[in-house]
Amino acid sequence: MNQNDDHEHADTERLLRRVRPTEPSTQLKALVLQTAREAWPGASTNIPWQIPIRRLALSAVAATVLISLANLYADHASGHEPAAIPIAEHVEPCDPEVMTVPNASSIRYVVTTVRSIPTDASILSNHLEEVRETLGATERDEKSDGPDPIERRSRLHQIPSSLNS
Protein backbone atom coordinates (compact mmCIF):
# COMPACT_ATOMS: atom_id res chain seq x y z
CA MET A 1 0.00 0.00 0.00
CA ASN A 2 1.42 3.38 -0.90
CA GLN A 3 1.02 6.63 1.02
CA ASN A 4 -1.91 7.82 -1.13
CA ASP A 5 -3.77 4.60 -0.44
CA ASP A 6 -3.09 4.93 3.28
CA HIS A 7 -4.48 8.47 3.25
CA GLU A 8 -7.61 7.44 1.39
CA HIS A 9 -8.04 4.42 3.58
CA ALA A 10 -7.66 6.59 6.65
CA ASP A 11 -10.57 8.75 5.50
CA THR A 12 -12.70 5.70 4.86
CA GLU A 13 -11.71 4.20 8.23
CA ARG A 14 -12.70 7.43 9.96
CA LEU A 15 -16.11 7.24 8.37
CA LEU A 16 -16.48 3.60 9.32
CA ARG A 17 -15.51 4.31 12.92
CA ARG A 18 -18.62 6.38 13.40
CA VAL A 19 -20.23 3.04 14.05
CA ARG A 20 -18.93 -0.18 15.62
CA PRO A 21 -19.99 -3.80 15.98
CA THR A 22 -22.14 -4.53 18.98
CA GLU A 23 -20.50 -6.02 22.03
CA PRO A 24 -21.50 -9.39 23.50
CA SER A 25 -23.95 -8.78 26.31
CA THR A 26 -23.56 -10.00 29.89
CA GLN A 27 -26.56 -12.28 29.36
CA LEU A 28 -24.79 -13.83 26.42
CA LYS A 29 -21.66 -14.30 28.48
CA ALA A 30 -23.59 -16.04 31.25
CA LEU A 31 -25.38 -18.27 28.76
CA VAL A 32 -22.23 -19.22 26.85
CA LEU A 33 -20.23 -19.95 29.98
CA GLN A 34 -23.03 -22.06 31.41
CA THR A 35 -23.37 -24.05 28.18
CA ALA A 36 -19.61 -24.50 27.93
CA ARG A 37 -19.35 -25.74 31.53
CA GLU A 38 -22.17 -28.19 30.93
CA ALA A 39 -20.23 -29.51 27.95
CA TRP A 40 -17.01 -29.77 29.95
CA PRO A 41 -17.38 -33.41 31.14
CA GLY A 42 -18.19 -34.61 27.64
CA ALA A 43 -14.93 -33.45 26.19
CA SER A 44 -13.27 -35.46 23.52
CA THR A 45 -10.62 -37.77 24.95
CA ASN A 46 -8.63 -37.80 21.74
CA ILE A 47 -4.94 -37.54 22.44
CA PRO A 48 -3.19 -35.83 19.53
CA TRP A 49 -0.59 -38.54 18.85
CA GLN A 50 -3.32 -41.19 18.68
CA ILE A 51 -5.15 -39.51 15.85
CA PRO A 52 -2.67 -40.32 13.00
CA ILE A 53 -2.27 -43.86 14.30
CA ARG A 54 -6.00 -44.37 14.31
CA ARG A 55 -6.26 -42.93 10.81
CA LEU A 56 -3.49 -45.27 9.66
CA ALA A 57 -5.24 -48.29 11.16
CA LEU A 58 -8.53 -47.31 9.55
CA SER A 59 -6.79 -46.86 6.19
CA ALA A 60 -5.21 -50.32 6.49
CA VAL A 61 -8.57 -51.90 7.28
CA ALA A 62 -10.19 -50.09 4.38
CA ALA A 63 -7.40 -51.19 2.02
CA THR A 64 -7.75 -54.81 3.15
CA VAL A 65 -11.48 -54.76 2.59
CA LEU A 66 -11.05 -53.21 -0.86
CA ILE A 67 -8.42 -55.75 -1.92
CA SER A 68 -10.56 -58.64 -0.65
CA LEU A 69 -13.56 -57.33 -2.53
CA ALA A 70 -11.47 -56.90 -5.68
CA ASN A 71 -10.18 -60.48 -5.45
CA LEU A 72 -13.68 -61.79 -4.84
CA TYR A 73 -14.98 -59.88 -7.82
CA ALA A 74 -12.11 -61.11 -10.01
CA ASP A 75 -12.78 -64.74 -9.05
CA HIS A 76 -16.45 -64.30 -9.66
CA ALA A 77 -15.93 -62.58 -13.01
CA SER A 78 -13.47 -65.16 -14.37
CA GLY A 79 -15.52 -68.11 -13.12
CA HIS A 80 -12.47 -69.84 -11.72
CA GLU A 81 -12.10 -71.54 -8.44
CA PRO A 82 -10.28 -69.61 -5.77
CA ALA A 83 -6.57 -69.53 -6.37
CA ALA A 84 -5.75 -71.33 -3.18
CA ILE A 85 -4.53 -74.94 -3.65
CA PRO A 86 -6.67 -77.35 -1.67
CA ILE A 87 -4.58 -79.29 0.80
CA ALA A 88 -5.83 -82.29 2.74
CA GLU A 89 -6.17 -81.38 6.34
CA HIS A 90 -5.32 -84.89 7.55
CA VAL A 91 -4.75 -88.39 6.16
CA GLU A 92 -6.41 -91.41 7.73
CA PRO A 93 -3.90 -94.20 8.57
CA CYS A 94 -4.27 -97.30 6.46
CA ASP A 95 -5.83 -100.19 8.39
CA PRO A 96 -5.16 -103.58 6.65
CA GLU A 97 -8.15 -105.19 8.31
CA VAL A 98 -10.45 -102.59 6.95
CA MET A 99 -9.05 -102.86 3.43
CA THR A 100 -10.47 -106.28 2.66
CA VAL A 101 -11.54 -105.27 -0.83
CA PRO A 102 -8.95 -103.52 -2.95
CA ASN A 103 -10.30 -100.54 -4.68
CA ALA A 104 -10.62 -100.32 -8.44
CA SER A 105 -7.61 -98.14 -8.95
CA SER A 106 -5.33 -100.62 -7.16
CA ILE A 107 -6.56 -103.47 -9.33
CA ARG A 108 -6.06 -101.44 -12.44
CA TYR A 109 -2.53 -100.63 -11.35
CA VAL A 110 -1.62 -104.26 -10.69
CA VAL A 111 -3.00 -105.46 -14.02
CA THR A 112 -1.21 -102.78 -15.93
CA THR A 113 2.06 -103.52 -14.15
CA VAL A 114 1.85 -107.24 -14.70
CA ARG A 115 1.09 -106.76 -18.38
CA SER A 116 4.01 -104.52 -18.77
CA ILE A 117 6.50 -107.11 -17.39
CA PRO A 118 8.27 -108.75 -20.34
CA THR A 119 8.18 -112.56 -20.55
CA ASP A 120 11.30 -114.08 -19.08
CA ALA A 121 12.69 -116.56 -21.69
CA SER A 122 14.90 -118.41 -19.17
CA ILE A 123 11.87 -119.40 -17.06
CA LEU A 124 10.15 -120.73 -20.13
CA SER A 125 13.21 -122.64 -21.32
CA ASN A 126 13.75 -124.12 -17.86
CA HIS A 127 10.17 -125.27 -17.83
CA LEU A 128 10.54 -126.83 -21.27
CA GLU A 129 13.77 -128.49 -20.17
CA GLU A 130 12.02 -130.06 -17.22
CA VAL A 131 9.23 -131.32 -19.45
CA ARG A 132 11.77 -132.75 -21.88
CA GLU A 133 13.67 -134.51 -19.10
CA THR A 134 10.45 -135.96 -17.77
CA LEU A 135 9.55 -137.26 -21.22
CA GLY A 136 13.10 -138.56 -21.70
CA ALA A 137 12.86 -140.47 -18.44
CA THR A 138 9.55 -141.94 -19.47
CA GLU A 139 11.10 -142.98 -22.81
CA ARG A 140 13.98 -144.70 -21.07
CA ASP A 141 11.58 -146.55 -18.87
CA GLU A 142 9.72 -147.79 -21.95
CA LYS A 143 13.03 -148.84 -23.61
CA SER A 144 13.92 -150.91 -20.62
CA ASP A 145 10.63 -152.72 -21.08
CA GLY A 146 11.44 -153.59 -24.73
CA PRO A 147 13.10 -152.17 -27.86
CA ASP A 148 10.96 -149.77 -29.76
CA PRO A 149 12.25 -148.15 -32.82
CA ILE A 150 11.94 -144.67 -34.04
CA GLU A 151 8.12 -144.02 -33.70
CA ARG A 152 8.31 -143.78 -29.90
CA ARG A 153 11.14 -141.33 -29.91
CA SER A 154 10.32 -137.91 -28.50
CA ARG A 155 9.08 -135.44 -30.99
CA LEU A 156 10.14 -132.41 -28.99
CA HIS A 157 12.57 -130.29 -30.89
CA GLN A 158 15.86 -129.27 -29.40
CA ILE A 159 15.54 -125.89 -27.82
CA PRO A 160 17.74 -123.39 -29.54
CA SER A 161 20.72 -122.46 -27.52
CA SER A 162 19.82 -118.75 -27.83
CA LEU A 163 16.81 -119.22 -25.52
CA ASN A 164 18.98 -120.49 -22.74
CA SER A 165 21.04 -117.41 -22.64
* Total binding residues toward another protein, as defined by CB under 8 A: 34
CB atoms within 10 A of CB 132: 15
Q: Which of 3, 7, 23, 114 binds another protein (CB under 8 A)?
A: 23
Binding mask 46-85 toward another protein (x if CB under 8 A, else -) reads xxx-------------------------------------
Q: Return the H-helix or E-strand segment holding 73.
A: helix 50-78
**Interface with another protein, residue 16, by CB under 8 A:** yes
Instruction: Give one word for 73, left, alpha or beta, with left for phi > 0 and alpha for psi -120 to 50.
Output: alpha
| Shortest distance in whole angstroms from residue 50 CB to another protein | 11
**Interface with another protein, residue 7, by CB under 8 A:** no
Instruction: Please tell me the distance from the alpha carbon of residue 164 to that of residue 126, in angstroms, as a whole number.
Output: 8
Instruction: Please tell me the distance from the alpha carbon of residue 142 to that of residue 33, in angstroms, as a whole number.
Output: 141
* Residue numbers at the binding site for another protein (CB under 8 A): 1, 5, 8-9, 11-13, 15-24, 28-29, 31-33, 35-37, 39-40, 42-48
